[in-house]
């Protein structure tokens, strides 16, 4: 495993539409996902998308709020891998919340996101994953999937006056995606 370099806003890889993964079980995909997880943990992020590590494929990883331990109480991998994800909006109500991004270091901003979504995709074995998510988890998944379409959170902002350096508002709760 290795820690990968994260592309920052302005790098063209962050603007392209990523390609679907044809074989989720391919060794190079497993290797990439291992590196993405390690990179995300090292950077203290809540999620990471493959284009952020210069790979234009439709893969995202994010903290999975549903997994904290297995039935034996042992800690297990708490990062979910979602390949070729799709999002369906279940609740047209939008929440506003502060977001940060590992590709937009140092900044935070208020972003509207659908409150409730159904997300789906496949895991590293090609097995279907389908889940409903609300609030913060729904926000993280929407943020990560936006990366696959070349969208960074500032492009979703309505009120740019909320775009701030996190060091200036350090007491705000925030998560980096
Ligand atoms: Ni991000």
pLDDT value, residue 80: 96
**Residue 6 included in any domain:** no
pLDDT value, residue 65: 81
**Residue 2 included in any domain:** no
Domain tally, the chain:
1
Full-model pTM? 0.91
- The pLDDT averaged over each successive group of 10 residues in the chain (177 residues) is 95 98 98 97 96 98 77 68 98 93 97 97 97 96 98 98 89 55
Alpha carbon of 70 to ligand 1 centroid (Å): 29
Alpha carbon of 73 to ligand 1 centroid (Å): 31
- CATH number for the domain spanning 100: value is 3.90.45.10
Give catalytic residue positions. Answer: 144
Alpha carbon of 176 to ligand 1 centroid (Å): 7
**Residue 4 included in any domain:** no
**Residue 7 included in any domain:** no
* Spatial distance between the Cα atoms of 145 and 4, rounded to a whole number of angstroms: 19
Q: Which domain holds residue 158?
A: 12-174
Q: How far is CA 83 from CA 41, 72, 128, 173, in A?
A: 19, 28, 9, 29
Alpha carbon of 154 to ligand 1 centroid (Å): 10
- The b-or-e profile of 106-122 (16+ CB within 10 A means b, else e) is ebbbbbebbbbbebebb
pLDDT value, residue 112: 97
**Residue 3 included in any domain:** no
């Amino acid at each position: 495993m290795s820690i990968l370099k994260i592309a920052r806003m302005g790098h063209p890889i962050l603007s392209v539409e990523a390609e679907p993964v044809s074989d989720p079980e391919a060794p190079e995909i497993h290797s990439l996902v291992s590196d993405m997880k390690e990179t995300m943990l090292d950077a203290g992020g809540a999620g990471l998308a493959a284009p952020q590590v210069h790979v234009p494929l439709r893969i995202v990883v994010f903290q999975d709020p549903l997994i904290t331990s297995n039935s034996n109480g042992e800690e297990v991998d708490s990062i979910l891998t979602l390949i070729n994800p799709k999002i369906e909006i279940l609740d047209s109500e939008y929440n506003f919340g502060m977001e940060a991004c590992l590709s937009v270091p140092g900044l935070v901003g208020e972003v509207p996101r659908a409150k409730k979504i159904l997300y789906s995709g496949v895991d590293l074995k090609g097995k279907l994953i389908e889940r409903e998510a609300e609030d913060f988890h729904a926000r993280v998944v929407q943020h990560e999937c936006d990366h696959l379409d070349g969208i960074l959170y500032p492009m979703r902002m309505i009120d740019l006056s909320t775009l701030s350096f996190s060091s200036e508002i350090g007491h705000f709760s925030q998560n980096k995606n």
